[in-house]
Amino acid sequence: MDRFLGPYSPQLYAILRIVAGLMFAMHGTQKLFGWPGDGNTVEIASLMGFAGIVELVTGLMIAFGFLTGWAAFIASGQMAAAFFMAHMPEGWNPLLNNGEKALLYCFLFLYMAARGSGIWSIDGATGRGSQPNSRSRHT
């Protein structure tokens, strides 16, 4: 009973990638288009505008599984920068400085950068998806 969902790992990872990518893209649409939300947008020629572009583009790339490793690496770096620039000055604890989402996205995308796109992806359909590495398999 240790890994009862183990046989579904590829499908569950694909769902995680798709949902996380779409949620990240929605942070971009919120900044750039005010949706979802109150309709307020940020200046596109600003640091927050650049962040919105990165979130929208990399989020969609991750969700569709297109160059997932690179997109996730860039998104992870952006979230690390967001944590240290916007949240860390308010204190080190992510639960108290409102940096929890940034930190979680940072490490989630770092893992995706290492793992690749997996199934249900453009990368997988074109043969660029992650391939099992026999050296890293544990029996």
Domain ranges of the chain: 10-128
pLDDT mean by block of 10 residues, the chain; 139 residues = 88 98 98 95 96 98 98 98 97 96 98 97 87 44
Phi, psi of 16 (to 5 degrees): -60, -45
What is the rounded CA–CA span in Å between residue 25 and residue 47?
A: 17
What is the rounded CA–CA span in Å between residue 105 and residue 103?
A: 5
Spatial neighbors of 112 by CB under 8 A, at least 6 apart, are: 17, 20, 62, 68, 69, 72, 76
For residue 5, the model assigns a pLDDT of 94
- Max distance between CA atoms of the chain, in angstroms, equals 53
Phi, psi of 73 (to 5 degrees): -65, -45
For residue 132, the model assigns a pLDDT of 53
What is the rounded CA–CA span in Å between residue 128 and residue 115?
A: 12
Over residues 21-58, the pLDDT tens digits come to: 999 999 999 999 999 999 999 999 999 999 999 999 99
Write down the number of H helices and E strands in the chain.
5, 0
What is the rounded CA–CA span in Å between residue 104 and residue 92?
A: 15
For residue 47, the model assigns a pLDDT of 96
